[in-house]
Amino acid sequence: MPKVLDKVLIVEDEQALLAVLAKKFTIEKFKVFEAPNGQIGLEQAFQHHPDIILLDILMPIMDGMTMLNKLRQDPWGKSVPIIMLTNLSDEKKEAEAAKEGCYDYFIKSDWNIDDLVKKVKSKLKQ
Amino acid sequence: MEGTKYSPYMPIDSRIVSSMKVFSEASSILIFVVGALVLVSWNLKIAILTSIFHNFSLMAPHSALGAMFLGLALWLQQEKRSKRWVRNLGRGCALFVFILGIISFAGYVLGNNFFAGELFFRLVATSNWVVNLGKMSLGGAIVFIFFGLALLFLDFETKRGVRPAQVMAIMGGFISLVALVGYIHNVPSFVQGVAVSPAVPLYTVIVFFIFHLGILFAHPDRGFTRVLVMRSFAGKMSRIFLPTMFIIPPIIGWLVEYGKYIGLYTLGFNVGLETILNIFTLSAVVTAGIGLLKKQEEYKTKVDVDLLRKEGRFHNLVDIMDEGIAVQDEKGIISFINNRGSAVLGYKPEELIGKSATILFDEENQKIYREQMVKRRKGERASYEIVGLRKDGLKINAIVSPTPLFDEKGDFAGSMAVFTDITERKKAEFEREQFFNFFNLSSDIMVIADPNGAFKKVNLACLKILGYSEADLLTKPFIDFVYPEDKQATLDEMARQIKVGSSLNFENRFICKDGRVLWLSWIATYDKDKGITYATARDITKQKQLVLELKNERVISDAIMETFPGTFAMISQRGGTPRWNKNLEIVTGRTSEEISTMSNEQALEWFYTKENRVKIIEAMEKTFREGSAQLEVEHLLNRGRSHAIYFFNAARIELNKELYIVVWGMDISKIKKAEEDIKKEKEKVDLLAKDLEKFKLAVDNESDHVMITDKDGAILYVNKAGEEITGYMSAEVIGKNAGDLWGGNMSKEYYEKLWTVIDDIQKQPFVGEIINHRKNGQPYTAEVRIAPVLDKNNQVQFFVGVERDITKLKEAEQMKTDFISFASHQLRTPLTAIKWNTEMLRDVKSGELTVEQKRYLNEIENGEKRMADLIKSLLNISRLEAQKIKIEPKPTDIASLISSVISEVNSVANARNCAIIFNESDQPASLIDADPVLLKQVILNLLNNAIHYSKSRKCKIEIGFKEVEGHCQIDVKDEGIGIPSKDQDKVFSKFFRADNAVKVSTEGIGLGLYIVKLIIETGGGKVWFESTEGKGSVFHVAIPTSGMKRVVGDKELSI
């Protein structure tokens, strides 16, 4: 029986980063969905109901915080685990995100992809 | 009573008077009837009547008429007749008769056969008896004249009491008597008078005689008939003898004539007989009269003698009498005065007799005397008082009992006065009255007591003061009213008083009726003769109270004087100190003796130095002159051995016309010193005030908003900058709460935190950023530092807040931060791409790499890491500089913190062959309030430096911490390259790397120590080092054991 893969939604406007992340998570046996901005991210989220979302903040059209907000207003979206993935080290934003109940707030440049995957997996195991 | 000429002393017998009057009336009726009968008989020629008169001639008709008229006249003028017209009618009748008599008499005188009667009757009568008309006898005519006159003037009486009517009547009676005698002795001339006159008829004679008596008796108590009616002896005599003398001789004569007629004896015999009988009768009468007179005389003599004797006795009596007796006549001339009377008046009796009584009185009393005389004339005899004038001019008071005297005629003949000199009595009375007034009007108690202790007499004051009734006081022994404690003393004093005779100022207490107790002061005299005590008492209760009060006052004033902490003296103008208090003695060191005897000069010498004496004298003079003075002067104490500055306050008083100064003195040396001190303090304060002014000015002009509130946040002061920043004028905000005005923009938690810091528990300054809003509503961001100002008891007194409007700064910062964030984000993104892609490259799944490829990949990774670190450091610094990094001290175990850092850097340290030694065992275990993250960074940086700048092979790094002077001090010692001295002051600067450090590694940015310094110093600690180039360095970080300072911030350190 083919295993149901965990779905991960990656919302990131930098194409280079998005591609890498998508490649890595696919290798790690995730079903990957991509969105270049918050708007499409929302669509994707509602459409595919990922098991976890990696969310960038600074994005055009709709930024990460707004999407987070909107997501949390959705009955499904309320409970989906979200990891903010940003280079913006802004405590304010971090606090805000935490308020909206994101699992973690990672500075990209501090993290290896590997560790990222490990984190995601450990979260999904919970 | 008409008859004042009649002596009222001779009383009349009114019965006789009335009988006589009856007789008078009867006689008038008789004569009238007779006359009427004659007329009737003439008219009627009645034989009977003629027969009665056969022997006698009939009375002429006009005589009869006259007779009738006479009868009428008398009858009408009887005394009892009151109507005037009746009497006048009577007079008219009398007048007719008189005229008739005159005419008839005139007929005889003129020799005229003048038959008046005829004339008369012719007019009225018939002719019948004209022939037989007789004429009136001469005697009759004369009688008619007399009687007519008498009856005309019947009521007339002279001043001397003579009644002409009586005289006339007697004349008429005498004529009739003569006629009667003529009839008896048959002597026609007696009867006729003249030859031509017919004989007056016998019955006429008798009737005339009776009638004359009737006229006489008309007013029997008047004139000389009075004697007949008197009760006196004379009256009796006259009543007996007068009729006898008129009746008896005629009877004797008739008897003799009858004897002769019947032939009893011869002519000579009967004459002789008559003579004898007359002699006999006369002598009998005379003898009787003499006898009676003799008796009368004897009686009178006896009376006289008696009277004389009596008078003599009376005189003696009168003279012995205590009273004066004086008799004055009606003119007021003194006719008699007894010895006593004259003596009382200071005269001899002969000096007063014959003098007018008025000399005995002064002008005022003469008036009284004259008034009294008027009363005497009226017969009043009431007693009166008068003041007489003695010979020597003295006045005497007399009571006069007067008796008016009237003579026999009833005229006022003077008066007799019995008078008593009542001067003495009056004086005595006056004195008694005075005494009595004095006794009763006196406001002092006056009593008369007997030696047995009973009041005999008490005055009104006594009753009033003690409140008892007279009955109460007189019936009980007076000792009963004495206050029990004083009873014995009173009794003793009574006894003493009796012995000695008087008692002076004896004081005792009496109980009043209402229970009050009064003090009385007695003066008493004991009268041995009378055996009574006279005493007067004065109520001295008030005085006693006053004395007591005075005593109390004295006690109080003494107490005041003695308890006064200073000196007191009373100085007499004349010299000397009559009063002073003990302190004066103590302070000056002089004895009581010395002070009492010192003169003013002596006092000056003893108490003041030469230079000050003038001042004292001036002050004293001022006091005497103006009434008061004050002075501060040096006062010699302790017999001149020491001195002190004294303040004197003096006042002038007057006692018994003497002037004194009373003066209080107080040692003010300490006060003076205090004054000096205060002056200095004041100067200091003034300086301080000036400084404060300057300070205030500075604060006012300070560009930051400075505000002071009370512990509840009400604004006490706000400076100019505050006004500008908040938009509120300071006047508007004073007293109001700052938070209400421009706060309220932050979260509730923020304010709670704020208050927690500054007040509730921590009472620490709160430093942070706050958003307030201006008056116009515009929000602004301020950097605020609010510090509590605590008092001695660690209670908040004030808050001092300093605010800096950092809105623009904030904006700039925000821009900077945003920029940095953005920049760092932008810088990081490509780095992330590099990192992850290289990571993917490394991943086997991407394909195997050659060694060379791996090498190139490493370089790329290194480059990326450096970039990343640089960006991180830049970010941290910008945050640290912006003071946005928050320091959150937490109880931190320093030891374990150090351990964890060591474990982190261990790999790096091993790579460079460095051993990190941390001696935990001999470090005190302690928890310090420190921000673990930041402190970790600090320790990390220091250790990293120590590792990096170690001298390659086998280095030792020591790390430890200890408590020093209230600080937790962490030391990191290395044996590295050290810091060249020239660079030592720069090592904490941003981006600084010493030359030797650069040689070791070009990789360092020069921010490590800068960050350490920033963190530690912001946290309230200190960082320093010792270093020797080439040898090594020791770095010290000290954090106060009270903990790192909390800093509110919104950023964390980017690790």
Kindly state the percentage of chain A with pLDDT values over 70. Answer: 98
Q: B754 and B643 in one domain?
A: no
CA distances from B890 to B965, B1019, B1043 (A): 21, 12, 8
> So what's the pLDDT on residue B703?
79
Q: B916 and B1032 in one domain?
A: yes
Question: Is the separation of the CB atoms in B567 and B665 below 8 Å?
Answer: yes
Give the dihedral of Cα atoms B721, B762, B754, B807; nearest 10 deg: 40
Kindly state the percentage of chain B with pLDDT values over 90. Answer: 13
Average pLDDT, chain B: 83
Which among B257-271, B594-608, B834-848, B862-876 has the top mean pLDDT?
B594-608
| Mean pLDDT score, B852-875 | 86
Residue B552 lies in a domain: no
For the record, the structure tokens of B361 come out as 């009185």
Residue B827 lies in a domain: no
User: For residue B125, is pLDDT > 70?
Assistant: no
> So what's the pLDDT on residue B648?
94
**Do the Cβ atoms of B833 and A16 come within 8 Å?**
yes
User: For residue B848, is pLDDT > 90?
Assistant: no
Last residue of a domain, one of B193, B227, B261: B227
> So what's the pLDDT on residue B921?
54
Asked if the C-beta of A110 comes within 8 angstroms of chain B's C-beta atoms, the answer is yes
Q: B195 and B251 in one domain?
A: no
Q: B357 and B310 in one domain?
A: no
Range of the domain at B40: 14-227
Residues B554-580: pLDDT tens digits? 899 889 989 988 999 999 988 889 899
User: For residue B187, is pLDDT > 80?
Assistant: no
Kindly state the percentage of chain B with pLDDT values over 70. Answer: 91
Which residue of B868, B1050, B1052 is in closest CB contact with A109?
B868
Window A:62-101, CB contacts with B under 8 Å: 86-92
Asked if the C-beta of A14 comes within 8 angstroms of chain B's C-beta atoms, the answer is yes
Chain A CB contacts of B1054 below 8 Å = 89
**Do the Cβ atoms of A110 and B868 come within 8 Å?**
yes
Residue B203 lies in a domain: yes
Residue B934 lies in a domain: yes
Which amino acid is located at B205 in the chain? Answer: V
Residues B640-653: pLDDT tens digits? 899 999 999 999 99
Which residue of B831, B840, B1050 is in closest CB contact with A24?
B840
User: For residue B1034, is pLDDT > 90?
Assistant: yes
Q: B1003 and B952 in one domain?
A: yes
User: What residues in chain B have their Cβ under 8 A from chain A's Cβ atoms?
Assistant: 821, 824-825, 828-829, 831-833, 835-837, 839-840, 843, 845, 868, 871, 875, 1050-1052, 1054
Question: Is the separation of the CB atoms in B31 and B22 below 8 Å?
Answer: no
Residue B556 lies in a domain: no
Asked if the C-beta of A117 comes within 8 angstroms of chain B's C-beta atoms, the answer is no
User: For residue A8, is pLDDT > 90?
Assistant: yes
**Choice among B163-172, B283-292, B604-613, B722-731 with the minimum mean pLDDT:** B283-292
Chain A CB contacts of B821 below 8 Å = 88-90
The model's confidence at residue B7, banded by pLDDT at 50, 70 and 90, is low
**Do the Cβ atoms of A58 and B1050 come within 8 Å?**
no
**Do the Cβ atoms of B837 and A24 come within 8 Å?**
no
Residue B868 lies in a domain: no
Which residue of B828, B845, B1051 is in closest CB contact with A87?
B828
**Do the Cβ atoms of A20 and B845 come within 8 Å?**
no
**Do the Cβ atoms of B837 and A107 come within 8 Å?**
no
The model's confidence at residue A126, banded by pLDDT at 50, 70 and 90, is confident
**Do the Cβ atoms of B828 and A20 come within 8 Å?**
no
> So what's the pLDDT on residue B932?
87
**Choice among A72-81, B26-35, B57-66 with the minimum mean pLDDT:** B57-66
The model's confidence at residue A32, banded by pLDDT at 50, 70 and 90, is very high
Question: Is the separation of the CB atoms in B875 and B824 below 8 Å?
Answer: yes
Asked if the C-beta of A22 comes within 8 angstroms of chain B's C-beta atoms, the answer is no
CA distance B863 to chain A (A): 13
Which amino acid is located at B558 in the chain? Answer: D
Q: B460 and B393 in one domain?
A: no
B483-510 burial, b if ≥16 CB within 10 A, otherwise e?
beebeeebeebbeebeeeeebeebbbbb
Q: B296 and B335 in one domain?
A: no
The model's confidence at residue B942, banded by pLDDT at 50, 70 and 90, is very high
User: For residue A50, is pLDDT > 90?
Assistant: yes
* Mutate: best of B769, B836, B872, partner A, most A CBs <10 A: B836
Q: B238 and B142 in one domain?
A: no
Asked if the C-beta of A118 comes within 8 angstroms of chain B's C-beta atoms, the answer is no
> So what's the pLDDT on residue B130?
42
The architecture of the domain spanning A6-121 is 3-Layer(aba) Sandwich (3.40)
User: For residue B178, is pLDDT > 60?
Assistant: yes
**Do the Cβ atoms of A110 and B840 come within 8 Å?**
no
User: For residue B118, is pLDDT > 60?
Assistant: no
**Do the Cβ atoms of B875 and A109 come within 8 Å?**
no
Which residue of A17, A27, A107 is in closest CB contact with B836?
A17
Chain B CB contacts of A112 below 8 Å = 835-836, 839
Last residue of a domain, one of B790, B805, B820: B805
> So what's the pLDDT on residue B132?
44
User: For residue B63, is pLDDT > 50?
Assistant: yes
User: For residue B1053, is pLDDT > 50?
Assistant: yes
Strand partners, B628: B651
CA distances from A22 to A29, A43, A53, A54, A108 (A): 11, 18, 12, 11, 15
Number of neighbours of residue B801 by Cβ within 10 angstroms: 25
Number of neighbours of residue B1026 by Cβ within 10 angstroms: 14
User: For residue B195, is pLDDT > 70?
Assistant: no
Q: B613 and B586 in one domain?
A: yes
| Mean pLDDT score, B851-872 | 87
> So what's the pLDDT on residue A25?
93
Burial classification of residue B156, based on how many CB atoms lie within 10 Å of its CB (0-12 exposed, 13-18 middle, 19 or more buried): exposed
> So what's the pLDDT on residue B972?
93
CA distances from B489 to B99, B320, B495, B498 (A): 115, 56, 10, 14
For the record, the structure tokens of B1039 come out as 């954090």
> So what's the pLDDT on residue B571?
92
> So what's the pLDDT on residue A51?
92
CA distances from A21 to A57, A65, B537, B834 (A): 16, 20, 140, 12
H helices, E strands: number in chain A = 5, 5
**Do the Cβ atoms of A27 and B845 come within 8 Å?**
yes
Q: B156 and B59 in one domain?
A: yes
Residues B383-437: pLDDT tens digits? 999 998 898 988 888 889 999 988 888 888 889 999 888 888 888 888 888 888 8
**Choice among B287-291, B614-618, B692-696 with the minimum mean pLDDT:** B287-291
Which residue of B825, B843, B1050 is in closest CB contact with A87?
B825
Last residue of a domain, one of B667, B694, B721: B667
- Long-range contacts, stretch B961-965, CB < 8 angstroms, 24+ apart: B961/B894, B961/B895, B961/B898, B961/B923, B962/B923, B962/B924, B963/B924, B963/B926, B963/B1041, B964/B1038
Residues A86-117: pLDDT tens digits? 887 777 778 888 887 877 888 888 888 899 99
Residue of A nearest to B837 (CA): A20
H or E stretch at B773? strand B766-773
> So what's the pLDDT on residue A117?
92
Question: Is the separation of the CB atoms in B245 and B251 below 8 Å?
Answer: no
Strand partners, B533: B449, B526
Rounded to whole angstroms, the Cα distance separating B995 from B862 reads 24
User: For residue B961, is pLDDT > 60?
Assistant: yes
CATH assignment of the domain containing B380: 3.30.450.20
Q: Is B599 helix (H, G, I), strand (E, B) or coil?
A: coil
Q: B235 and B219 in one domain?
A: no
Asked if the C-beta of A108 comes within 8 angstroms of chain B's C-beta atoms, the answer is yes
Chain B CB contacts of A17 below 8 Å = 829, 832-833, 836
User: For residue B531, is pLDDT > 80?
Assistant: yes
Q: Please give the order of strands across the beta sheet that includes B395-406.
A: B334-337, B324-329, B412-421, B395-406, B384-389
**Do the Cβ atoms of B868 and A88 come within 8 Å?**
no
> So what's the pLDDT on residue B122?
53
> So what's the pLDDT on residue B104?
81
> So what's the pLDDT on residue B114?
53
> So what's the pLDDT on residue B620?
92
The model's confidence at residue B51, banded by pLDDT at 50, 70 and 90, is low
Residue of A nearest to B841 (CA): A20
Given the DSSP bridges, would you call strands A52-55 and A82-86 parallel, antiparallel or unpaired? parallel
Residue B192 lies in a domain: yes
- Residues, chain B: 1055
Q: B178 and B45 in one domain?
A: yes
Residue B859 lies in a domain: no
Burial classification of residue B755, based on how many CB atoms lie within 10 Å of its CB (0-12 exposed, 13-18 middle, 19 or more buried): middle
> So what's the pLDDT on residue B1?
45
Number of neighbours of residue B148 by Cβ within 10 angstroms: 26
Number of domains within chain B: 7
> So what's the pLDDT on residue B58?
66
Residue predicted with more confidence, B846 or A72: A72
Which residue of B821, B828, B835 is in closest CB contact with A90?
B821
Residues B348-364: pLDDT tens digits? 888 888 889 888 899 99
CA distance A19 to chain B (A): 10
User: For residue B623, is pLDDT > 90?
Assistant: yes
CA distance A27 to chain B (A): 8
**Do the Cβ atoms of B821 and A88 come within 8 Å?**
yes
Question: Is the separation of the CB atoms in B74 and B215 below 8 Å?
Answer: yes
| Mean pLDDT score, B281-300 | 75
> So what's the pLDDT on residue A42?
93
**Do the Cβ atoms of B831 and A17 come within 8 Å?**
no
Chain B CB contacts of A10 below 8 Å = none
> So what's the pLDDT on residue B3?
46
| Mean pLDDT score, A61-74 | 90
CA distance B1055 to chain A (A): 10
> So what's the pLDDT on residue B999?
79
Asked if the C-beta of A3 comes within 8 angstroms of chain B's C-beta atoms, the answer is no
